[in-house]
Structure 1
Amino acid sequence: MARLMLRMKVSMILTGLFFTLYFGLQPLTELFERKHLVDAPEEVVFVNTSVCHVSGPRKPAAYYFAIEPIKKLQCRMPQLLTAVTQGGSNFLEAKRISENFNCKYWLKSGYIHSRQYTTDGQFDLKSGTARKIKIGTGEQIVRIRCSDQLNISRYHDVHYFLPPPDPKWMPTERPEKLSVMVLGIDSVSHMHFVRYFPLVKSFLENHPHTKFFGYSRVGLDADANLRPILGGKSSRLAGLNFLSDEKDWLWDIFKMEGYSTAYGEDNAKGILFRRNGHKELPKNKVDFDLTPVIVEMDNHTRYSIDLKEMIYCTAGRKFQEVLRDFILQLVPYMQGIPFFSFFWQSQGVQEYYEYASHLDLFYMMLLKKLLNADILNNTLLFLMSGHGLRAGEYRMSLQGMKEESQPLMVAIYPEWLKRKYPLAVRNLESNAHSLITPYDLRETLADVIDLVQLKDANLEVGMKRLQSHPANRLPRGISLFLPIPDHRTCDLAHIHSLFCFCRELTEVPTDDGLVIRSSRFLVESINQLIKPFRQCRQLKLEMVLLAHFLDFGEETFLYELRLRVRTNPGNGVFEATVRLSDVLLLTSPISRVSHYLGQSHCVGDPDLKTFCFCI
């Protein structure tokens, strides 16, 4: 009897266990067994118009990973002090430490762009104790060096104080204006973003936005692609329809319209304005400028954490974290007044394809903080890049070559903008797969400055005016709040052949006589550029690596070759397009797609550095 009861108990337990496992795991089983009715497309469409169709694979082309694990690139120095502003005063807050330190500091107050320190001082940090050191008040930069009992430097850092605004000086009612913020990530193509930013993509799905898949570069580097947006005159902003001598920056124009302005990069050399340093953007052009802080770090406290010495830290923070903290310090100001702000990150992403994957959480958290602070409810935010990866193994692939000209561009806007200006936002969204450029972004910002332009009646007038243009003569820049004409080509959009992938590429044998002749002409063109500089070696064609014939269609008699060549000395790899006729003609800038590192140490001009192999 006891055995029978035991068997029954075991049977009941096993039956219960069976039903628990079956019904508990059934949803999971169905998840694995369920087949999608429609498989995710392998191709992503970028441009889809009557005259241009550009698409690309979701999966990246094959490439070699970095020679060092990106995930291990962390700052190795301690972060002993943090900057805190409380009760109108600035403090350095020390964590509990395990030994005694003697610290000296140098301070800049008032005009922080000055090279001279206004004061200096020293303080002690005792083992096992926490301490706050009062520094002063207002906007300040302080550099601190702490040494141990053997006088060995153990901490060296720069801190920036930006106290919150005085409520007495903030307007009681926010003007009816739309703020503008540019969050730039250098060298990130649209597909690079699709593959490596899943958290940011999820954030976007819960906020009104438009991804501009057809956004194209018009210049070689970030500087050349940002100047049409930030540094030129446009038809409605200055009565002209071409870029002038670049004296009227957007910072000036927004300030004249009552906006506060801010600018920050994580690179002291400046990806933007790098040709002449930061002399082109003096203090009076922006209200809040991170430049003197980054320069101070670059001169005194930076150290590199990668073999190529391209990713910098100061104490326990990467330069990109300094940029993020600067943006967050500005939040109290952005909450009360209309703002035009421009921020750009370049460290890491310029050199390493896989570095982008470690920025996803960083930017998702930044966007979330801006959302929680109600900044996004009053801001048109552009998450963008100037171009894709410009050099390296991935760039050498055919897909990498295409992605270089397909930079990231996403517009994020508040919900009320769709309700108040329905035609404007409808046009904006309709341009997601149109061929667009930085010139269009400039015209778009002209409309943002004057929101009256976004009213349906005014847009309808603009749409009729755009339709009245001859088919072969469109404005170079067209506001994205207007529908970009379907017949727009690369030529009409002022996009060089080297950057245009609307035209089909047909691979040509590299030993073809015309290819060899055109390649020699390309190298000779480089030599003409560096000829006045005796410290630069003249280059010779070593090998034609790739040649493509560009299809202009049957209606034209134009013939061009897209070439990739390697030269010596230096093993430089260059690309350009050459038009074939009685006289060969370069129809694009010459792009270097290989690293040159220290080969060009004898010249300072960044444009010349790409070509010069120093003697």
Structure 2
Amino acid sequence: MGYSQCFVEIKKNSFRLILMCIILYVLINFREQVEHKMKEQPPIEGKPDNKMLFVNSSQCQINSMDPFSPTAMYHMTPMPSSACPMIKLMKPQSIDGMNYLYLIASAKELWKKLGVRRLSDIFCAYKRFVRFNDFVNIYFESTLFRFSKLRNFTKVDSGNITLRVWCWMDYGRLVYHDVFIFLPFPNPQKVNNSAPVKRLSVLILGIDSISHMHYQRYFSRVRDLIEGLPHTELWGYNRVGQNSYPNLIPLLSGQSVDEVEAKSGCYGASGGTNFDRCHLLWHDFQAAGYATIFGEDSRVAGTFTYVRPGFKKRPTDFYLRSVINEIHMRSTYFARGPLEIKCSGDRVYHHVLYDFIYRLLPHMQARMYDRGFFAFFWQTMGVHDYFQYGERADWEYYRIMRALKRRKILERTLVLIVSDHGLRYGPFVDTFQGMRETSLPIMVAIYPRSLRERFPLAFANLEANAHRLVTTYDLHETLKDVVDLENLSDERILNRTLRLRNNHNVSLFLPIPEERSCFSARIPLHYCQCDGYVKIPWNVRSIQRIAKLAVANINRLLAPYPQCEQLELLNVEDAYLRKQHKLNKTIIVRLVTQPGNGHFDATVLSKNETSLQGPITRTDQYRHQSFCAREAPIEIYCYCS
């Protein structure tokens, strides 16, 4: 009997032990799953920070945001590394007006990367080219050359020239391929550094897809350098269009895309063949005798060349387009790393833009004392596709700003660090903060201290406008004022202020009207950030109806394109009511379509659900889904059959 009781007790204890182990296992497993989800899932978004307003006027209140909010921090992962494996074989150099190609690879590097012991094993050639139009270059004959121990350079044509260089060994194995710019230094002139500024030069450093918060988040080096310089940040700078083109056209022309492309407009009147008839900002500066510069880093996504024909004639004195064309067509290859990063030679493709800027610095330095210069640079590559790329861009623009400061170019130049919009694609844009940031790009104006002292009223207005609603229309008028500095005198500013109206295009040297609204500033309500947001249920009938109407609107646009699939509503992700528009309350719906899993945002009037307020915008990368319809605005909607 004692044995039986003992056996029963052992069974009971064993059962309890097994039960406890099972419970413990379930608890540990549940905890691991919860911790995993906490790590993998983005944080729940909190309410916007209402303690501070970026803009606080009678018709516009823009709530502030935290650049380092939990939502933003979740997406601030390290940028994947990239590398261009081709050897750094040579560099271009101009000496006393003559141009040379210099061998810079050491014997050790040649052996390690190419297995070369003798320079005579490497054969090279260069071909000079010039621009014919924005898509075609004209070529001269190829010239063969070799390096040797006694001669580590070769002389090429003199003057401002562009060359494509390639080298090979082993009867044709390509080991080097790149494109070079030669811009010999201008003749040195005696200048009086202490003379007052008669002409203010302009340098626009444009960086695609950088919101004001993203600038705060990633551009710490640039911000630290600028902190010691006179500058103004425009916290109410709001985009007016979907992508680069509709935001930069007002900056450069003072007109909207509709006005430029109308039959009576400068582009429409040409039959859409080129932009040569358009009067752009650099033409104002050219007419006043300034040297002009225009450079972009992308052949495909150029401001005037993305699904458009660009210019027939060269638009500015210095123009990078032919070089970018040549690299894209001949020498580019994929980097080791992120898919969208490409190389030419040993360098990242878009670093050619930085090289262009550095080679122009002596020209800027010379011109700022006599003619003055107007320079417009625009970077798209990297920053357009990767949230984290801002950190790399920060380092590059810090170096550029440091070089400008060292050469004292900042003492006679208005520098603008500006973007067109925030990041438009990716997981961060699907968040509430990401959606808001897309419409609030960065704009910082850095100016000489002497000008602020010379024109106190104009620069007091500029600083006061830091917290007003502004757009690229205003920036256009601001830069037109710079052509003649007498426009900034206190007397003229006072007279112009008396005549000032609540127009959409007001120079930032004048007081932006306090009563300005998105309507008077020509900002479509879909992009307007003047109103607060209230999250509303996405699964109610009215929201589902709005989403279906948005999809129907897309399908009407797609109807003339049989190669594109008709879309269907998959689901609605979020919906927001814009609460401060008393007369025009709006609703934003964030939806997903199929096929293609396209993510879209649509804005309608709450009283009229069929009234779209601006285009339906896409927030995910569609890449090759629309390969069969590369034209605006169909490209972002089309899912090719």
CA distance in 1 between counterparts of 2:451 and 2:571 reads 54
CA distance in 1 between counterparts of 2:632 and 2:89 reads 37
SS at match of 1:494: coil
- Kindly provide the CA deviation profile for residues 367-392 of structure 1, in whole angstroms up to 9, marking residues without a partner as x: 01011112111111110110001010
Alignment of 1:434-453 (within 5 A): 434-453=468-487
Deviation at 1:168, TM superposition (A): 8.1
Q: Is 1:548 aligned with 2:576?
A: yes
Q: Is 1:399 aligned with 2:442?
A: no
Q: Is 1:189 aligned with 2:215?
A: no
Alignment of 1:312-351 (within 5 A): 312-337=342-367, 338-351=372-385
Deviation at 1:88, TM superposition (A): 1.7
- CA change 1:110–1:510 in 2 (3 A) is closer
- CA change 1:256–1:567 in 2 (3 A) is same
How many residues align structurally? Answer: 559
1:496 aligned residue (499, 507, 524): 524
Alignment of 1:286-301 (within 5 A): 286-301=316-331
- Give yes or no for contact 1:112–1:141 (8 Å, CA) kept in 2: no
Equivalent position of 1:454 in the other structure: 488
Equivalent position of 1:142 in the other structure: 163
CA distance in 1 between counterparts of 2:203 and 2:555 reads 41
Q: Is 1:563 aligned with 2:589?
A: yes
Q: Is 1:477 aligned with 2:477?
A: no
- Give yes or no for contact 1:233–1:248 (8 Å, CA) kept in 2: no
Paired letter, 1:256: A
SS at match of 1:575: strand
2:68 aligned residue (56, 59, 63): 59
Deviation at 1:52, TM superposition (A): 2.7
Paired letter, 1:352: Y
Alignment of 1:87-486 (within 5 A): 87-95=96-104, 96=106, 97-98=110-111, 99=116, 100-108=121-129, 115-126=137-148, 131-167=152-188, 176-232=198-254, 245=267, 247-277=278-308, 279-305=309-335, 309-337=339-367, 338-466=372-500, 469=501, 474-486=502-514
Structure 2 unaligned regions, length at least 5: 1-48, 268-274
CA distance in 2 between counterparts of 1:68 and 1:502 reads 31
CA distance in 2 between counterparts of 1:174 and 1:388 reads 38
Q: Is 1:47 aligned with 2:55?
A: yes
**TM-score w.r.t. structure 2 length?**
0.82
- Give yes or no for contact 2:238–2:529 (8 Å, CA) kept in 1: no
Equivalent position of 1:513 in the other structure: 541
Paired letter, 1:541: L
**TM-score w.r.t. structure 1 length?**
0.85
CA distance in 1 between counterparts of 2:180 and 2:514 reads 51
- CA change 1:433–1:178 in 2 (3 A) is same
More moved, 47-56 vs 259-268: 47-56
Paired letter, 2:513: P
Deviation at 1:457, TM superposition (A): 0.8
Q: Percent identity?
A: 36
SS at match of 1:274: coil
- CA change 1:396–1:110 in 2 (3 A) is closer
Paired letter, 1:358: R
Structure 1 unaligned regions, length at least 5: 1-40
Paired letter, 1:82: K
- CA change 1:244–1:89 in 2 (3 A) is closer
- Give yes or no for contact 1:266–1:322 (8 Å, CA) kept in 2: yes
- Give yes or no for contact 1:546–1:565 (8 Å, CA) kept in 2: yes
Equivalent position of 1:34 in the other structure: none
Paired letter, 1:589: P
CA distance in 2 between counterparts of 1:606 and 1:73 reads 32
Paired letter, 1:587: Q
Deviation at 1:50, TM superposition (A): 3.3
Deviation at 1:130, TM superposition (A): 6.2
Deviation at 1:577, TM superposition (A): 0.5
Deviation at 1:454, TM superposition (A): 0.6
